[in-house]
Amino acid sequence: MTSVQDPVQDPAVLRAAMVDALRTDPAVSDRVAAAFATVPRHLFAGGEPLARVYDPNTTLAPKVDDAGRETSVVSAAHIQAVMLEQAQIEPAMTVLEIGSSGYNAALIAELVGDRGAVTTVDIDPEIVTRATRNLRAAGYEQVRVVQADAEHGVPQHGPYDVIMVTVGAYDCPPAWRNQLSEHGRIVVPLRFAGITRLIAFDRDGDRLVGDRYRLGAFVPMQGNGAATDQMVPITGEVTLRLDTCELADFDVPALRKAVHSSGIERWSGAPFDLPDELELFLLTHGRKPVPMLHVSENMVQQGVFAASARRGVPALIEGGSFAYRTKRESPETGGFETGVIAHGPDAETVAARYIELLRRWARDYRRRDAARIEYLPAGADTKHLTGWSTTKRHGTVTVTWP
């Protein structure tokens, strides 16, 4: 008797369903969808359940180090599709992937075709071995797998038309720019202002210029490019988070006192949507650092803070007072309305400043890709910069709102 494969356990059926789901996003092109339809994702998944492997919004089980930190992971298929669309990979291109799971490199190999070249690099020898084994098993022997510190790129196989960074990066080292072709593109989850944005940068001489970006979370880069956020504890349950290079000059005792004072609510009349775009605007509205406020679940349950602060929300600080964004249902906006909760002796003043920012964003920038993000290498002239900027080890990130 011929056995019949259970459709729920048939990788081909599940892969087709995943591709159908990806196609519901109008940004996913036929070429990228075809790559996902071709590459057997389960061969890169370490035996995880097939339903999980082919769920387009599920990240696969990460590798975790002895300290409990995630060091490598296969991203959700939808995030990978977004990155591939940002990269605009064409046949015959030469591509470098930084951070290797094997699966994404196989997708890139499908896009560049027989005349293209793909190199994938990782610092972890175990990941390199696994990626090599899985790529060979899936039939992608042409992909070069290199063990190296990606801070220095892989110069021997460049220049690259596209560099695709699949780990969270705090900076753009010179090697990446130097190994790009003249009109090359870098897609990188770049960490700045205490957040990560997945940015498609085009090379313009020594500068990198980006006007397409998305929300994304990735395991942090290891090796020479590793860095961590700056954490400023206010209490044991309230913390401010900033980029490592920003100066933190907060009056912590005064802010601690403000935490325990009654807060005030003020409402903007502006609609709340596109929260990741609004967050970027609030964090980069001026030159003074705007930290991310994080509070414990206990503080939310006690009613001391609104739920928006649980996972992090931009906070305006004025001496011993602070304000942060919240929301409420509002029939006048057709959904939710943005508002502010403020604490401290100057709560009214800092709340009014925040409300003005919320209204300004809703009036002038309430759309996708409203900001222009640039990266200028160290030594570049930054005197002309008029927007928000932060200087890192290898250069300066600047965000303007045209």
**Beta strands 94-98 and 160-165, pairing class:** parallel
Confidence band for 4, pLDDT divided at 50, 70 and 90: very low
Helix locations, 46-154, DSSP H: 50-53, 77-87, 103-112, 125-137
Residue whose pair of structure tokens reads 């030469």 in the numeric block: 94
Does residue 170 surpass a pLDDT of 50?
Answer: yes
**296 classed as catalytic:** no
Helix (H) or strand (E) holding 257: helix 252-259
Confidence band for 247, pLDDT divided at 50, 70 and 90: low
Greater confidence (382 vs 183) lies with 183
Give the pLDDT confidence of 113-154 residue by residue, as tens digits. 999 999 999 999 999 999 999 999 999 999 999 999 999 999
Residue of 75, 100, 308, 321 marked active site? 75
Comparing 51-65, 112-126, 148-162, 194-208, which segment has the lowest mean pLDDT? 51-65
Cα-based angle 340, 344, 350 (whole degrees, multiple of 5): 45
Over residues 146-174, mean pLDDT: 95
Count of positions (residues) in the chain = 402
Over pLDDT 90: what percentage of the chain? 79
The pLDDT value recorded for residue 3 is 44
Over pLDDT 70: what percentage of the chain? 94
The pLDDT value recorded for residue 73 is 73
* Ramachandran area for residue 305 (φ above 0: left; ψ -120 to 50: alpha; else beta): beta
Q: What is the largest CA-CA distance in the chain?
A: 80
Count Cβ atoms within 10 A of the Cβ of residue 253 and give its class: 0-12 exposed, 13-18 middle, 19 or more buried. exposed
Give the pLDDT confidence of 298-328 residue by residue, as tens digits. 999 999 999 999 989 999 999 999 999 999 9
